[in-house]
Structure 1
Amino acid sequence: MKPIAVVALGGNALLRRGDAPTFENQLANIKIAAVAIAEIAKEYRVAVVHGNGPQVGLLALQNLAYKEVAPYPLDVLGAESEGMIGYMLAQEIQNVMPDREVTTLLTRIEVDPNDKSMLDPTKFVGAVYNEEEAGVLAEANNWIMKRDGDFVRRVVPSPKPMNIIDKHAIDILLAAEEIVICCGGGGIPVCKTDHGYKGVEGVIDKDLSATLLAKQLNADKLLILTDADAVYLDWGTDDQRALRTATPAELSKYDFPAGSMGPKVEAVSDFASFGGKAYIGALEHGLEVLAERSGTCIAI
C-alpha cells in the first residue's frame, strides 16, 4: 500500500493576501492546488487539510449584515467554510484525476474550552485592512485587531487540537485509497460536556491539526503549502534569507510570528521530532517541495 502524506493548504494560499474575496479568485487558486495534490496522489495516499482564515472572516462579516438574528458562533462558521472549501477542492481534484475517488469529511476536533488562547487571540481571520479601516471595524464589532505584515487583520481564539473525533472515518477512506479532505479550517472545535460535545468559539490552526492528523495516521510526510516559498530568517528586511533544510533544534533558536509562520514552524518541528519528514513551501510548487528541490525540509 502507498505511504501516507498529509498536505496542509493555507487559507492564504487559497485566497492570496490582498485578493478580493471572490469565488473566482478562490477557484483559480484551488485549481493550482488541485494539480499539485494530484501529482502527490500518484505516489501517496493523501489526506488534505486546508485553512479557512480569509473565508471564515468573510462569513463572519456576512453574518453581521443580517441584524435581525444573533451572529452564528465561530464553530458553526468554521463548519460552513469547511463544507464550502472542501466541495471546491474535491471537485477540482476529481476534475484533474477523474479515476480517483475524493471525499470531503466534516471533521470535529476536541479542544480545551479553557485554552489560554481564549484570553489571548492570535489567529488571523478575514480580509486585510489599513489602520483606519481596522479601527472602525474593531470599534463597531468589538473585534481584536493585530498587525499582519503590512496590514491589520482581525484575530480570534485558536485553541490547540487535542483529539480528532472523526479519525476512524479518515482511516477507512485512506485504506480505500481515496483522497480525503478533512480537518478543514483546522477542524470544527468542540469540547466534552456532561451532555456530550458542544462547539467552542474559536478557529483551530490548521497546521497544528495537520500535524496531529499526521501523527495519528503515522504518516510518512507532512507538507505545508502556503503563500511563502520557504521558511525565512529576518523576513521583511534586507538580510532576509531562506532556510532550505533545518532541524527542530535549529528552528527553536528563532522567533517566528505567532499569527503566521510561528504555528507552521511549531507544526513541522513537532512532526519531525515525532520521526517524520516535514516541509514548508509554495502552493504551486508542491511536488518540487516534496522532492526537496524547493521550500524548506525539516527533519531530525
Structure 2
Amino acid sequence: MRVLVALGGNAMTAADGSATPAAQIAAVTTAARHIATLVTAGHDVVLTHGNGPQVGNLLVKNEIAASVVPPVPLDWCGAQTQGTIGFILLNALDRALTAAGSDRRPAAIVTRTLVDRDDPGFTRPTKPVGRYLPADEAQTLIAHGQTWEDRGERGWRRVVASPEPLEVLDAPVVRALLDAGMIVVANGGGGIPVVREPDGSLRGVEAVIDKDLGAVVLAEAVGAETLVIATDVENAVVGWGTAQARPLGEVGVGELRELAGQGHFASGSMGPKVEAACRFVEASGHRSVITSLERIADALDGNAGTVVRPD
C-alpha cells in the first residue's frame, strides 16, 4: 500500500533531545532502518518529518548575529532545515535500502504549503518558538519586525502564527516520484508556509505549520492509504499519568474524537497527533496509526500501536 510516515522529533535527535550533527545523523540512521523494512515489504513510502530542534538552532544563530546581519526569516529557516534533514535522510536511506537488498532509491523535495493570508494567527500570533531572552536582546529582534512577549521571570519569547495548512503545492511532484518507484522525503516541518497574493504570486511568510496536520494534507494529495504518525510511545494513552491509564489499540474515529474532547490528550504532545489521525480517517476513509518508530511495521500489520479506523 501507499504509506505516509510522519517522523516525530525523536527520530531527528538524540534520546536526550540534543541536535548536534552527529546526534542527528545517528538518529536518522536508526529511523532509516525501520523505513527500509516497509519498503522491502513492498509498500510505497513517503516521509515527512519535524524540524523544531533544527529551526531552534537556526533561531539562536539569528539572535547571536542580529546586531551584525539581518535575521533569516522563518520560512527560510524551514527551507534550510528541509534541505539539511532531507540530505541526511537520503544518505541514511541509501545505506539502509542497500543493506536490505533493495534497489529502490530516495528523493527529497523542498516543499511549500499554502496557508490563508487572512489566517487570524498573522494578526494574533500565539505559537512560541525559540528560546527565552532578556529584554534588551529581545528588543534588537523586535526592531527587525519580530513579535516577542514578556513571559515574566523567564524572560521574553518570540511568538509567530501557526496557520492551518490548506494545500501542499508541490504534491504533484511528490506523487510523480512515488509513481516512479522512489521513496520521497517531503513537506518537512509541515511545509514552508506561503500565501497567495491577489495577483496570484506566492510569498513566504513567518509562520510555523503543525507537522502532523501538514502530513494529513500531503497524505490526501498523494493518495496515501495509511497515515503513520511515528512518535516516542507505542500507543496513545487514555488517562495518561493516572492509575487508570490504558493504551488505546484499535479505535473508531468517533470514539477517539470523544476521548479527545474529554481532555485525554495534551495539546503540546499527543493532542495534535490524535487530531491529525482523526482528520485523515474522516477525509480519506482509510486508517491511521499512532505508534513508536520501532513498531511501525508491526502497526501496519495491525499488531501494534493505536489504529484509528473509520466508524
Q: Which residue of 1 aligns with 2:25?
A: 27
Please tell me whether the aligned partners of residues 106 and 182 of structure 2 are also in contact (alpha carbons under 8 angstroms).
Answer: yes
Q: CA 1:112 to 1:241, structure 2 compared with 1: closer, same or farther past 3 Å?
A: same
Q: Map of 1:28-67 to 2, 5 A cutoff?
A: 28-42=26-40, 43-67=42-66
Alignment match of 1:283 (pick from 293, 297, 310): 293
Q: Deviations over 1:141-193 (max 9, x none)?
A: 364599xxxxxx97642211111111121121011110000111111100001
The equivalent of 1:218 in structure 2 is: 223
Alpha-carbon separation, structure 1, partners of 2:235 and 2:302: 11
In the TM superposition, residue 240 of structure 1 has moved relative to its aligned partner by: 2.5
Query: Which segments of 5 or more consecutive residues in structure 2 lack a partner in the other structure?
Result: 139-146, 152-156
SS at match of 2:237: strand
Q: Are residues 1:246 and 2:251 paired?
A: yes
Moved more, 18-27 or 31-40: 18-27
CA contact (8 A) 1:207 1:264 kept: yes
CA distance in 1, matches of 2:136, 2:306: 40
Checking the alignment, whether the CA contact within 8 Å between 1:277 and 1:298 is kept in structure 2 is yes
* Counterpart position of 1:159: 163
SS in 1 for 2:162: coil
> What residue number does 1:121 align with?
126
SS, match of residue 97 in structure 1: helix
Q: Secondary structure at the match of 1:194?
A: coil
Contact 1:32–1:284 (CA under 8 A) maintained in structure 2: no
User: Is the CA contact 2:125–2:159 (under 8 Å) kept in the aligned structure 1?
Assistant: no
8 A Cα contact 2:58 2:77, kept in partner:
yes
Counterpart amino acid of residue 21 in structure 1: A
TM superposition score normalised by structure 2: 0.84
Q: 1:57 to 1:103 in 2, by over 3 A?
A: same
| Aligned counterpart, 1:270 | 279
Secondary structure of the structure 2 residue equivalent to 1:219: coil
Query: Cα deviations across residues 209-251 of structure 1 (Å, max 9, x unaligned)?
Result: 1111111222111101012221112223343221112222112
Measure, in 2, the Cα distance between the counterparts of 1:74 and 1:137. Answer: 21
Q: Does 1:13 align with 2:11?
A: yes
2:195, 2:205 within 8 Å by CA — same for their partners in 1? Answer: yes
Matched residue pairs, number?
Answer: 284
CA positional deviation for 1:121:
2.5
1:232, 1:138 → 2: CA distance? 40
Match for residue 175 of structure 2 among 157, 171, 177:
171
- Return the alpha-carbon distance in structure 1 between the equivalents of residues 251 and 74 of structure 2: 35
Corresponding letter in the other structure for 1:245 = E
- 1:79 maps to 79
Counterpart CA distance in 2 for 1:17 and 1:139 is: 34
- Asked whether the equivalents of residues 172 and 222 of structure 2 are also in contact (C-alpha less than 8 Å), the reply is no
Q: Cα distance, 1:10 vs. partner? A: 1.2
Among candidates 238, 259, 263, match of residue 268 of structure 2: 259
Q: TM-score, normalised by structure 1?
A: 0.87
Which amino acid is 1:194 matched to?
P
1:109 aligns with 2:113: yes
User: What is the alpha-carbon root mean square deviation over aligned residues?
Assistant: 2.2
CA contact (8 A) 1:247 1:269 kept: no
User: Compared with structure 1, are the counterparts of its residues 139 and 4 closer, same or farther at alpha carbon in structure 2 (3 Å cutoff)?
Assistant: farther
Highest Rg: 1 or 2?
2
Q: Could you say which structure has the greater relative contact order, defined with CA pairs below 8 angstroms and 6 or more residues apart?
A: 1
| Alpha-carbon distance between aligned partners in 2 of 1:116 and 1:110, rounded to the nearest angstrom | 15
State the shift of 1:285 in Å: 2.0
